Chain A
Amino acid sequence: QVQLVESGGGLVKPGGSLRLSCAASGFTFSNSYMSWIRQAPGKGLEWVSYISSSGTTVYYSDSVKGRFTISRDNAKNSLYLQMNSLRAEDTALYYCARERDYHMDVWGKGTTVTVSS
């Protein structure tokens, strides 16, 4: 079945780095646009980043631009989010999702990132 499974979350100190992964299965990953969306504890959803099917086009929210890097490996059916210079406000549950025309039709269960000293 169509599935996205995130991993790589954890506890990191402010200023530290973390790399999230998202493994896709059950659909043609290489033809799919993908995004990362996060949800701070008890808060709403926030779009973080987008990547085109080939990986040549990427976009970021202003809150993470210059600190986060989205990438993908279509041979491995995998999506990544490299997060550097992490701040307390980056603490959230991070979801990867398949995007189609500005809506997310498949979501993973998320991986938790906690930034704290």
Chain B
Amino acid sequence: QSALTQPPSASGSPGQSVTISCTGTSSDVDSYNYVSWYQQHPGKAPKLMIYEVSKRPSGVPDRFSGSKSDNTASLTVSGLQAEDEADYYCSSYGGSNNLVFGGGTKLTVL
């Protein structure tokens, strides 16, 4: 199962919006609404930010939103804040009892 494709980096200034893409295939992202996004600060464990494409767990700011179109999922961070600077990973159910992750995107707040 191939990993999902994410851009290695993204950036934005405080207050701006930034969108991170996650491209899969017809076997994963396009076939299932089980796309998740995780935030990971250096030296810390990942934190769930979005699940089932666009749902936010309790406690996650509504500045974070998710969407999907065909085989590409997206995470949008609005009103960028300094603490949003982190690595972001997408994941999707890939069928055949398999879960696939993206390679990660380093988000820099300028």
Contact = CB atoms under 8 A, between A and B. Distances in A.
Contacts of B47: 107
* Count class of interface residues, chain B: 20 to 34
Given A45-B38, A103-B36, A104-B36, A62 B45 contact: no
A95 B40 CA distance: 13
Contact of A45 (B34, B98, B104): B104
Contacts of A101: 34, 51-52
A47 B48 CA distance: 15
A103 B91 CA distance: 8
B82 interface: no
Residue in A45, A59, A108, A110 whose Cβ sees the most chain B Cβ within 10 Å: A45
A108 B36 contact: no
Given A44-B103, A101-B34, A108 B45 contact: yes
**Which 3 pairs from chain A and chain B are nearest by CB?**
A103-B51, A103-B36, A102-B34
Given A44-B89, A45-B104, 6 more contacts: A44-B102, A45-B91, A61-B98, A101-B51, A103-B51, A104-B38
30 contacts: A35-B99, A37-B46, A44-B3, A44-B89, A44-B102, A44-B104, A45-B38, A45-B89, A45-B101, A47-B91, A47-B99, A47-B100, A47-B101, A50-B99, A61-B1, A61-B98, A62-B1, A95-B46, A101-B34, A101-B51, A102-B34, A102-B93, A103-B36, A103-B48, A103-B51, A104-B48, A105-B51, A107-B47, A108-B45, A110-B45
